[in-house]
Structures are given as C-alpha cells and as structure tokens.
Amino acid sequence: MLEDRILRELEGIVGPAHLLVQPEDVLVYEQDGYVLSRSLPDAVVLPGSTEEVAAVVRVAREHRVPVVPRGAGTGLAGGAIPVGGGIVLVLTRMNHILEIDPRGRLAVVEAGVINADLNAAVAPYDLFFAPDPGSQAASTIGGNIANNAGGPHCLAYGVTTNHVLGVEVVLADGSVVWLGGKTLESPGYDLTGLLVGSEGTLGIVTKAVVRLMRKAEGARTLLAIFPGVDQASQAVSDTIAAGIIPTAMEMLDAMTLRIVEEAVHAGYPLDAGAVLLIEVEATLEILDRLIGQIEGFCRSNGAREIRTATNEGERALLWKGRKEAFGALGRYMSSLYLADTVVPRHALPEVMREIAGIGERYGIPIANFFHAGDGNLHPTLLFDGRSPEAWERVVAAGEEIMRVCIEAGGTITGEHGVGIEKQEYMSWMYSEADLQAMKKVKEAFDPHGLLNPGKIFPTGKKAAHLLQKTTTGIRPVSGELWT
Ligand SMILES: Cc1cc2nc3c(=O)[nH]c(=O)nc-3n(C[C@H](O)[C@H](O)[C@H](O)COP(=O)(O)OP(=O)(O)OC[C@H]3O[C@@H](n4cnc5c(N)ncnc54)[C@H](O)[C@@H]3O)c2cc1C
C-alpha cells in the first residue's frame, strides 16, 4: 500500500476519478493475457495527457515507486503484471488520433489508440496500419510498439518496428522527449528502434508517428486444405524458397479447425489435417501468376482442395475463423497457455511432430494456429485451471516446447515479448556478457530501475515468474520453486 501523501500527490495530478486504490478496483489490473501469474498493484492511475504521465513518473521517482505502463492488457507474456506492486499506469484514456496525413502516408496518435480504431479511421483514404495482431480489436498502439507486435500480414509488410517513424516518450526522470519524427530517417543512433520492443522498461510511449500503407490493387484469399501439418508446412517452405512472399500464410491444425468451426462457423473443413489461410496482394498484372504458383506448391504437397474467397463477405469469414481462434479455444477449455516461439521454416514439420509428442507425454491437448510463413508458432496448451497439478504439467511442457524450438535453431519469442514468461529463458539465448550489455542500456535509461522492473532479465530462480502475490490463491506450483 502506498503512503497517503503519495496517493494525494497522484490524485492531485489525475483527479480522484482516475486513481484506483480499492482492492476491488485494482483487482483487474493484477493480470494481463498471461495466465500463469498475477500480482496486485498498489495503485492504478489513468492519466489523460503526456503532462499527467510525466507528473506521475516524477512522483514515482521521488518516492522510488515502480511504474508499470499498460495498454489494453492483452499481452501474453506478463509484461503488464506489476510484479513488485507499485503503480500501474494505464494509457487507454489517451486514445485520440491527432493527425492523419494521407499525402505523407502517416498518422500521429496517442498511445492508447486501439489498433482497429486507427485502421477504421484511415480506411476511407485507402490506407492501413500494417501490424495486425490477432488482438487488434482491443490492443493499443502503445502496447503494439512496446511489444513490437506482429500479425498475419506482417509476413510481407514487416512487424511494428518497420511502421513507427517516431515516438514521444516519458523517460524515467519524468522528462518528455521525441525520438524520431515524421521523416523516414533520423541521424544518429536509432533510439526509436531501441524503444520499440522495450516492453515499457526504458520509457513510456505517449504518442507515436506511424507509417500508413496504401491498399494493394488486387488481393486474393485462399484456403488450402491438407491431409496434415507436415504437408502444409512443406508447402509454406517451398513457396517462400521460390521467392514468393504472400501477404499472409497462416496455419490451423486439425484440433483448432474443429473447435473454431463449432464456435465461429467460418466454413472450415472438419476432416482436414491442417489448412493454410493464404492471402496475396499484388498488382492485377501479376496476381494470377502468383496465385497459380502458390496453388502449384500446395497441390504438389498434397492439398486436396483450394478454395478462393469470391467476395469480401467470404474473405472476412475465412479471416474471422483465424482471428477468433484463441477465443474459440477459450470457449472449449477453461484455461489456455499460448506459447510464442519461432523456428526456421524448414524445421516446421519436425518441430510440429515434437510438440505433438510433448502434448501426448504430458497429457495436455495442444492446438496450433500460427503465422506459418514466418515460422512463428503458437502452440496453445488447453487445461483445467482449477487443478494445481495441471499447472505444473503445463509449465513443464511449455519449457520443453521452448527447448525443442531453440534446438531447432529458433528463438524464445516471435512477437509477444519476454515479459516475465520468458525471462529465465533469456540465458538460453544470450551469454552473460550479452545480458550485461543489455542491462547497461536499461541502466542508462532508468538508473533507479523503476520502469516495469522485474521483466526481461533472468532472475536465476527457477519458475520465478510464478508469483505469490495472488488474490485468489491459485498457486500453480509449490512454494519452494519461487524461493
Ligand atoms: C487473442 C490475442 C491475440 C493476439 N495476437 C497477437 C498477434 O497476432 N501478434 C502479436 O504480436 N501479439 C498478439 N497478441 C499479444 C498482444 O495483444 C500484443 O502484444 C499487443 O501488442 C499488446 O498490446 P496491449 O495494448 O494490450 O499492451 P499491454 O498488454 O497492456 O502491454 C504489453 C507490454 O507493453 C508495455 N506497454 C503498454 N503500453 C505501453 C506504453 N504506452 N509505453 C510503454 N510500454 C507500454 C507493458 O508494460 C507491457 O510490457 C495477442 C493477444 C491476444 C489476447
């Protein structure tokens, strides 16, 4: 609990309506989309302007209170969980689109603008903001920037870092700076690039200048139906190896297809081993040729049928199934743990087989729907969260999946960030010298370690991400693991 005088200072900045301290009010901020941890904040503030964010950070700095920035809380790696308590600073009131410049193909937005709202606002200009995480109906541009979010269409367009020209940032001392701006290049160090993906540990993004893309002349959406994941994976590998980069190439396995179809009625086949949802955008001149080549790779790898969406309604329905897959799985099973990892595309068939084996060994159903074109896997472990024993199996299986992916030449996260979920795995990827170099960057930005502390860097404690400070008492693993 923060001292009264600190609370009075915070209330003086944001007003009583935007400071939450009662247990029943702060409860919903103890967790984000990561199911294995939770921790209560001491206070939640909802500032309405950059000046208010800066003033809150100055109070926090003076009293040495941690500050955890938060957008919509859809993050899947626990990045917005206040592991050491302190202030959760929620940016959702800062949701104004400040400028749309169709000629310059850019927009200036506050950090709390929802990704889908930005896209709806720029659509009349035939423009779009390319990063399209599955959470885009809820997640904020600030959260997308902090996690360097990806999405189905990032295969061709690149992830968030490729679409951010500048950011206004509140630094740990409460000062406000602009990094980058409206021009395509800024001289000197790429500090904008450094902030993108820094998960709220280097500064709080309050505004951003983002690039907008023009819609392609022609687009087509296909559903290729395969007997199994192996064949679909090979079709992905062959397509990209031939130098063709579809805008999106998403895979759904048999289990996901059945669960999604029951909930969403997207017209997915119930008897398929896997499908690829493929989207291609190009000039009309070359679209047919590209589609022909991709269909060829699908058929030579055993696709029994390739459906093409014939109108916008059919296209939207095919995508609805993919975008609502996580929700559909949640309808099917009470608790989901969605892992995020990347493997080289050529390793997809083998890694997918190993993941299936892990699921069988641990007795945990694993559904797969993922950005296959990037080799970015999302094995989703379905379990009954009421059973502490199930949590233990999920943690162990999740760790084994990570090891398999790294041994295949992959990495521990594709797009969801490190947060607390992956912090112990960082030492699998980096040497102590690498981690020390990263810590020096953190210290340069945040000498007192107040911005989103306890994230990204390994603590050396096994399963340190499974926290004690819970409200409901659900404790996934036994006590000694976090001592
Ligand atoms: C159904 C579902 C589908 C998803 N699909 C995808 C996907 O396809 N691709 C993908 O990349 N992710 C996906 N995600 C994960 C998540 O939605 C993204 O990481 C998203 O960018 C998080 O945005 P948010 O506003 O919810 O941020 P939060 O969850 O609130 O925060 C995420 C991190 O960013 C920090 N942060 C938030 N706002 C700021 C700010 N203004 N300044 C500094 N730091 C900040 C937080 O401290 C935290 O570390 C999905 C999640 C769900 C639930």
Estimate the crossing angle of helix 388-407 against helix 348-362, to 10 degrees.
Answer: 160
Distance CA 163, CA 412 (A): 23
What pairing do the DSSP bridges indicate for beta strands 305-308 and 341-342? unpaired
Q: Which domain CATH number covers 414?
A: 3.40.462.10
- In the reported structure, the alpha carbon of residue 169 is separated from the centroid of ligand 1 by a whole-number distance in angstroms of 17
Closest atom of ligand 1 to CA, residue 200 = 44
The verdict on 210 and 224 lying in the same domain is: no
User: 321, 329 in Cβ contact below 8 A?
Assistant: no
- In the reported structure, the alpha carbon of residue 366 is separated from the centroid of ligand 1 by a whole-number distance in angstroms of 23
What confidence score (pLDDT) does residue 468 get? 38
208 pocket-lining for ligand 1 (C-beta < 6 Å): no
Output the residue whose Cα is nearest ligand 1's atom 27.
Answer: 143
What is the token pair recorded at 58?
């100055």
Per-residue pLDDT, averaged over 277-293, amounts to: 95
The verdict on 234 and 366 lying in the same domain is: yes
What confidence score (pLDDT) does residue 210 get? 98
Report which of residues 210 and 384 the model is more confident about. 210
143 pocket-lining for ligand 1 (C-beta < 6 Å): yes
Place of tokens 């080289």: 344
Q: Which domain CATH number covers 42?
A: 3.30.465.10
Per-residue pLDDT, averaged over 162-168, amounts to: 98
What confidence score (pLDDT) does residue 462 get? 58
- The number of domains in the chain is 2
Q: Is 16 left (phi over 0), alpha (psi -120 to 50) or beta?
A: alpha
What confidence score (pLDDT) does residue 175 get? 98
140 pocket-lining for ligand 1 (C-beta < 6 Å): yes
Closest atom of ligand 1 to CA, residue 76 = 15
Residue 470 has pLDDT above 80, yes or no: no
pLDDT band (50, 70, 90) for residue 477: very low
pLDDT band (50, 70, 90) for residue 327: very high
The verdict on 222 and 319 lying in the same domain is: yes
33 pocket-lining for ligand 1 (C-beta < 6 Å): yes
The verdict on 137 and 193 lying in the same domain is: yes
The verdict on 61 and 159 lying in the same domain is: yes
The verdict on 168 and 76 lying in the same domain is: yes
The verdict on 257 and 354 lying in the same domain is: yes
Per-residue pLDDT, averaged over 397-424, amounts to: 93
- In the reported structure, the alpha carbon of residue 458 is separated from the centroid of ligand 1 by a whole-number distance in angstroms of 21
The verdict on 70 and 210 lying in the same domain is: yes
Burial tier of 243 (Cβ tally within 10 Å: 0-12, 13-18, 19+):
exposed
Average predicted confidence (pLDDT) for the chain: 93
Residue 268 has pLDDT above 80, yes or no: yes
142 pocket-lining for ligand 1 (C-beta < 6 Å): yes
- In the reported structure, the alpha carbon of residue 432 is separated from the centroid of ligand 1 by a whole-number distance in angstroms of 28
73 pocket-lining for ligand 1 (C-beta < 6 Å): yes
The verdict on 383 and 470 lying in the same domain is: no
Residue 467 has pLDDT above 70, yes or no: no
Per-residue pLDDT, averaged over 214-240, amounts to: 95
Query: Which residue range is the domain that position 258 belongs to?
Result: 216-421
133 pocket-lining for ligand 1 (C-beta < 6 Å): yes
Residue 434 has pLDDT above 50, yes or no: yes
The verdict on 241 and 369 lying in the same domain is: yes
**Selection from 71, 158, 81, 184 nearest residue 117 by Cα:** 71
200 pocket-lining for ligand 1 (C-beta < 6 Å): yes
Closest atom of ligand 1 to CA, residue 414 = 11
pLDDT band (50, 70, 90) for residue 386: confident
290 pocket-lining for ligand 1 (C-beta < 6 Å): no
Mutate to test the pocket of ligand 1, among 110, 144, 147 (most ligand atoms within 8 A of CB): 147
- In the reported structure, the alpha carbon of residue 107 is separated from the centroid of ligand 1 by a whole-number distance in angstroms of 20
Output the residue whose Cα is nearest ligand 1's atom 13.
Answer: 133
User: 235, 251 in Cβ contact below 8 A?
Assistant: no
205 pocket-lining for ligand 1 (C-beta < 6 Å): yes
139 pocket-lining for ligand 1 (C-beta < 6 Å): yes
Report which of residues 293 and 334 the model is more confident about. 293
414 pocket-lining for ligand 1 (C-beta < 6 Å): no
Residue 390 has pLDDT above 60, yes or no: yes
- Positive or negative: CA dihedral 457, 459, 462, 467: negative
pLDDT band (50, 70, 90) for residue 184: confident
Q: What φ, ψ does residue 350 adopt, rounded to 5°?
A: -65, -45
- In the reported structure, the alpha carbon of residue 159 is separated from the centroid of ligand 1 by a whole-number distance in angstroms of 13
- Positive or negative: CA dihedral 163, 165, 168, 169: positive
What is the token pair recorded at 85?
């308590």
Output the residue whose Cα is nearest ligand 1's atom 19.
Answer: 75
Distance CA 361, CA 384 (A): 17
- In the reported structure, the alpha carbon of residue 110 is separated from the centroid of ligand 1 by a whole-number distance in angstroms of 15
- In the reported structure, the alpha carbon of residue 298 is separated from the centroid of ligand 1 by a whole-number distance in angstroms of 33
Distance CA 455, CA 438 (A): 12
The verdict on 303 and 444 lying in the same domain is: no
50 pocket-lining for ligand 1 (C-beta < 6 Å): no
397 pocket-lining for ligand 1 (C-beta < 6 Å): no
39 pocket-lining for ligand 1 (C-beta < 6 Å): no
pLDDT band (50, 70, 90) for residue 414: confident
160 pocket-lining for ligand 1 (C-beta < 6 Å): no
Per-residue pLDDT, averaged over 258-269, amounts to: 96
- In the reported structure, the alpha carbon of residue 73 is separated from the centroid of ligand 1 by a whole-number distance in angstroms of 6
The verdict on 468 and 392 lying in the same domain is: no
